[in-house]
Structure 1
Amino acid sequence: MDTHLEIYRRLSKIENELVQAVQASAVVRGVAEELRACLHRLSEESQQARALHLRNQDEALCLALRELEALAEQACQLADCRDGDARRVLRPGLDEARQDIRDLCHQLGLHRRSAAAEQRAAP
């Protein structure tokens, strides 16, 4: 499969997962406002990442994916702070989205590049 198409497909899947999380957060009891805001930001960032990929803006896409990964981690932590429905309903979808983001970062070599850059920056 064409790499460009595969990346687009994966970004679309991530975007769909995050849109579903936002929709679920609107109806699930006990979702903190901070978690809702994080989910909205995740959804917006995922749309931005897909748009950057379509415009072949690879450097900006790398930054957006790193931001997505950090936001997904934050959303998972926020979901864990809540008992009941918020954690039970939202956490599985957030875990899947977070793993998909990580897998895409690995596929694009973002983790290796950042680790190599950190080694070069170390005294």
Structure 2
Amino acid sequence: MLVEQKAFRIPVVARAILNGKFLRVALPKHISQADQGSETTVISPGFVRALKLEKQSLATRGFSGLTMNTADGRVSELSHFVSFKIGVFEIWRKIDAFIRPTQRKNNELDLHLLLSLP
């Protein structure tokens, strides 16, 4: 089965700013997926760089030492988040997404967005 045909893959459009102009960036289906059991939206560092999103520190919001358990049993510290607008089937909303810790040395092409319930 192709990655694009797996369950919970959804068409997402993200708003980005380039040279002071707003752009709509249609994401390939293999980049974004919905997790109906999650209350947390998580984004990869590579995707943050690709959209040129501004990282914000969780510590400045009073959330230092926040951690996330992963499926492989590890505990990862979350230190930053981003806020941006996305559209799914032309329904737009502003989301806050935790930036997941870097897992690879070369994560330039590490483009992932895990969406929680709205």
Q: Which has the higher helix share?
A: 1
Q: Which has the higher strand share?
A: 2
TM over 0.5: no
| TM-score range normalised by the length of the shorter chain | under 0.3
